[in-house]
Amino acid sequence: MWNIMGKFYITTAIDYVNSIPHVGHAYQKVIADIISRWHKNLGDDVFFLTGTDEHGQKLADAAKDQGLTPKELVDENSSKFKHVWNLLNIKPNRFIRTTDKDHIKTAQELTMKIYKKGDIYKGTYKGLYCKGCEAYITEKDLVDGKCPHHNKVPEILEEESYFFRLGKYKDRLLKHIKENEEFIQPKARRNEIINRIKEGLNDLNITRLKSSLEWGIPFPLNENYVTYVWWEALINYLSGIEYPKETFKRYWPADIHLLGKDNGWFHAVIWPAMLFSADIKPPKTVYIHGFLTFNKQKISKSLGNSISPVKLAEKYSVDGIRYFLAREVMFYDDGDFSEESLKNRINNELANELGNLVSRTLSLCKKLPEIKKSPVEIKFEIKNIEELMKNYKITEALNEIWKYVQDTNRYINQKEPWKLQDGELEKVMYTCLESIRRISILLWPFIPSTSEKISSLLNIEMQDLKGFNNEIKIYKVGEPEILFEKII
RNA sequence: GCCUCUGUAGCUUAGUCGGAAAAGCAUCGCUUUCAUGAGGCGAGGAUCGGGGGUUCAAAUCCCCCUGGAGGCACCA
């Protein structure tokens, strides 16, 4: 009944390390970890990649402000991201940094490959340059024709630069998007991208003069230039799996690139065009998810400290947060991380429904030294859950799983096992234990440490979905313990 | 300005091909005693943003108005 085991390659956006991780960053990584674990649960050979993006003007500036070298700054901040993911039980196969040696090498090699294809040429970049910012700015940044930061009219500046022939891939991109409905998800984003491509594609400036920006990957065609951050950052999805070696051959194409809506254009248009040029298959799905607000407020830097995932995890538990993010927020849309709502879900669902279910079950088992196998009276039909997960409908899948928690509570009420003795009691309790065991397997991707805890309370080995139907012959369960403390 | 999405119960949302308006939370009532002051059952609560049109039939399709969110690349 299980899918044939396959490979599964999932990536997240790599975070720009000019700020510290907040709950918005955490959201994406938690979802990615859930998807990754779900596929591991299925028995797939999974590669999960995340990491940090560490070059560019903003970082160079930030480092200067803090009196650090760029390298010092990115080392410090990157480690914070890595640490927080570990704390949230997010387990990537690799945490890539765009300052990693192998990434730099791969980025340069891929650039050369695209150059040899004839898709990189030297041209002239003309743009609005603000001397105060020491950077090009766009027209929409202007307020009354002036740079809002320096209140100056920018000058039009021209410089020689290298370009990628993005425009050349317009038709091929449109064709690919139209022929592969799952390529850009969700649909609204897909429409948005299609319309914008139709408006026309300009070639992409992919270098910066070293004289104005040193903090970047040296451009392999000309030592006076560094590579534009976006261009090389995207390539991390290849360097992360050691392109073009064996690991790459095993995992590419990526099954899903997960990213926020601010990154859609780069992943849905520029990245596939780069891959087309390099004769590499595009990813199967680029999934563009919504943004999170925190207590209805836009997540901003000033709010940053109060929404540190570390503090939230201390207060609400890691699994509480993971559960909430998966259950509350509709993945494709914007959502709100509200502490009020988080508290309600932890108390009502994790503590009262799930925690108490385990607790009452184990308590009812106390009279029985062992519980032997008998027919399971709660029916599990999990095809729809698998289907939902396959289509990245995380929230909906978790809702379906939760129905079994409620079914089991209902079953106990109906059977009133506290009135039963011996064999009768044993039969009912076997169903409850089996039900809890299966629930713990289904929930493992979402709240792994809770699932593992449940297994240890049931005194059994934690299994994956392949073991879903392997009923335990004899249960000898332990004492009940509190799974979730209530939040006051 | 151009484009995309969206407005359904107090809140968060589901609603496929047009066919009797759904679910959870919150509120209120009933009920169980195994359990973490937990569990179960039930009730009230919606002019489906507004107006017009197509249709035997519209939350759903079309038009207009209006509120909200987002995208418009070389900033990451």
Nearest nt by C1' to A264 Cα: B71
Task: Provide the pLDDT confidence category of residue A20 given band limits of 50, 70 and 90.
Answer: confident
Please report the beta strands in A430-476, taking only residues with DSSP state E, as ranges in sequence order: 474-475
Span CA (A156) to C1' (B24), Å: 56
Local confidence band at A418 (pLDDT 50, 70, 90 cut-offs): very high
Q: Chain B: nucleotides under 7 Å from a protein CB?
A: 3-6, 12-14, 25-26, 32-36, 38-41, 69-76
Enter the tokens of residue A296.
Answer: 């209805």
Give the N- to C-terminal CA distance of chain A in Å, as an integer.
Answer: 44
Task: Give the CA-to-C1' distance from A269 to B73 in angstroms.
Answer: 10
Q: Which of A249, A281, A301, A311 is catalytic?
A: A301
Q: Are the beta carbons of A437 and A460 closer than 8 angstroms?
A: yes
Question: Which of A22, A39, A103, A415 is labelled catalytic?
Answer: A22
* Whole-number distance in Å between A363 CA and B33 C1': 13
Q: Is A130 annotated in the active site?
A: yes
pTM across the whole model: 0.93
Two structure tokens written together for A223: 């030592």
* Contact call for residues A321 and A309 (beta carbons, < 8 A): yes
The string of pLDDT tens digits covering residues A303-356 is: 655 578 898 999 999 999 999 999 887 777 777 888 888 999 999 999 999 999
Report the C-alpha gap between A308 and A298 in whole angstroms.
Answer: 14
Other CB atoms closer than 10 Å to residue A180's CB: what's the count?
Answer: 13
Cβ distance A209 to A227 under 8 Å?
no
Q: Which one from A80, A91, A113, A133 is the annotated catalytic residue?
A: A133
User: Sign of torsion, CA A292 A298 A304 A305?
Assistant: negative
3-state helix, strand, coil in chain A (%, to 5): 50, 15, 35
Query: Known catalytic residue: A55?
Result: no
Q: Which of A126, A298, A372, A403 is catalytic?
A: A298
State residue A227's pLDDT score. Answer: 94
| A103 among known catalytic residues | no
CA–CA dist A296, A293 (Å, integer): 5
A249-294: pLDDT as tens digits: 999 999 999 988 888 889 999 999 999 999 999 999 999 888 888 8
Gyration radius of chain A over CA positions: 26
Q: Which residue is nearest to nucleotide B36 (CA to C1')?
A: A356
Residue A334 CA and nucleotide B10 C1' are separated, in Å, by 22
- What are the residues facing A49 on neighbouring strands? A11, A94
Which nucleotide lies closest to A216 by the C1' atom and the CA atom?
Answer: B76
Tokens of A318: 């890691």
Other C-beta atoms within 10 Å of A98: how many?
27
Residue A24 identity: G
A147 is catalytic: yes
> Is the predicted pLDDT of residue A93 greater than 80, yes or no?
yes
pLDDT tens digits, one per residue of A49-87: 999 999 988 888 888 888 999 999 999 999 999 999 999
**Size of chain A, expressed as the number of residues it contains:** 488
- pLDDT tens readout for residues A233-245: 999 999 999 999 9
Q: CA–C1' distance A191–B58 (Å)?
A: 26
Q: Which nucleotide is nearest to A410 (CA to C1')?
A: B40
Report the range of poorest mean pLDDT among A36-45, A94-103, A210-219.
Answer: A210-219
What domains can you pick out in chain A, each with its CATH number? Answer: 7-118+171-201+230-294 (3.40.50.620), 339-475 (1.10.730.10)
Q: How far is CA A106 from CA A77, A98, A134, A242, A245, in A?
A: 23, 10, 29, 8, 11
Within 13 Å, how many C-alpha atoms sit on residue A154's CB side? 26
Distance measured from the CA of protein residue A292 to the C1' of nucleotide B52, in angstroms:
38
> A46 pairs with which residues across the strands?
A8
- Tell me if residue A298 is catalytic: yes
Average pLDDT over chain A, rounded to an integer: 89
Whether the Cβ atoms of residue A322 and residue A32 lie closer than 8 Å to each other: no
Answer yes or no: A113 catalytic. no
% of chain A with per-residue pLDDT over 90 = 61
